[in-house]
């Protein structure tokens, strides 16, 4: 089993759900990214997603887009990101995965990118712009390396297509809560619970919900029907405050925010 398979097997045996925060690599720099990941795991995060900055993001809202721009302007390179993740992976008791454009994976080579993750102890990759029709080759590359290839299902994905996505995905399915881009929202679609419940009946893969989740109320609403909840923009926005608040205060704020979500998850 992959590290993510082992994580969800353990969580399910304990009747718990995963809180899965997202951070942008290199914003404001890689040392702080490493510090944030350590803080998130110390506060109860089960898994951390790390965004690989890309100049043409597909579904990222303005908060994450801005963080990618800041990181790229610093000149952060992929190898440096992966080296940082390799060091962090040795020190935290939670799997790390990269959120990465398929263009980056393809440019570096499917097997090379996968091998670089394995070398650093990274557990998998989320590839949001990989069409299911073109995913079989990367899925096989990941399968033989016990890497998880996490793919997305959206509210507009036809059910037949969603079932195809489950066939080449591993680790967990990333269910996008709303049509559109990432970002904090005050309300989530009322039909979301029903759609996720249907998907969970179709596959043994854990189903985790992302996009728009930012409040303990969201966590309490969705925890009963999801295996995990993904929080991105609300964390990235707080990390951006390091430029004015200072790093120590920012780490504390991010940690306390994530701890509040973990508490809401455990109370659900």
Q: Beta strands 207-210 and 96-99: pairing type?
A: unpaired
Question: In a 10 Å sphere around its CB, with 0-12 CB exposed, 13-18 middle and 19+ buried, how is residue 133 labelled?
Answer: exposed
Cα–Cα distance between 95 and 46 in angstroms, integer?
7
Query: What are the catalytic residues?
Result: 49, 60
Q: Where does 129-175 have alpha helices with state H?
A: 136-143, 159-168
- Own/partner pairs for 71-74, CB < 8 Å, 24+ apart? 71/24, 71/25, 71/26, 71/27, 74/26, 74/28, 74/29
Q: Residue 53 is encoded by which pair of tokens? A: 């900055």
Q: Determine the distance from the C-alpha atom of residue 195 to the mean position of all C-alpha atoms in its chain, rounded to a whole number.
A: 20
| Separation of alpha carbons 208 and 18, rounded Å | 8
């Amino acid at each position: 089993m992959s590290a993510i398979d082992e994580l969800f097997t353990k969580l399910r045996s304990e009747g718990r759900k995963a809180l899965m925060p997202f951070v942008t690599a290199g914003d404001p720099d890689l040392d702080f990214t490493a510090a944030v990941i350590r803080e998130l795991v110390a506060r109860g995060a089960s898994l951390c997603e790390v965004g690989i900055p890309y100049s043409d993001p597909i579904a990222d809202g303005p908060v994450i887009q801005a963080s990618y721009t800041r990181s790229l302007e610093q000149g952060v390179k992929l190898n440096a990101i992966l080296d940082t993740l390799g060091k962090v992976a040795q020190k935290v008791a939670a799997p790390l995965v990269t959120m990465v454009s398929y263009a980056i994976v393809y440019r570096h080579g499917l097997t090379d990118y996968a091998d670089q993750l394995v070398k650093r102890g990274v557990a998998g990759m989320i590839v949001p712009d990989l069409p299911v029709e073109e995913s079989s080759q990367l899925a096989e590359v990941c399968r033989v390396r016990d890497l998880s290839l996490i793919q997305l299902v959206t509210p507009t994905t036809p059910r037949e297509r969603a079932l195809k996505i489950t066939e080449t995905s591993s680790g967990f399915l990333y269910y996008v809560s709303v049509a559109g881009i990432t970002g904090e929202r005050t309300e989530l679609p009322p039909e979301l619970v029903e759609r996720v419940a249907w998907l969970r009946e179709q596959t043994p893969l854990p189903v985790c919900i992302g996009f728009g989740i930012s409040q303990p109320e969201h966590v309490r609403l969705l925890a009963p029907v999801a295996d995990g909840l993904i929080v991105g923009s609300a964390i990235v926005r707080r990390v951006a405050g390091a430029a004015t608040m200072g790093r120590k205060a920012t780490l504390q704020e991010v940690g306390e925010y994530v701890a509040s979500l973990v508490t809401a998850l455990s109370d659900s």
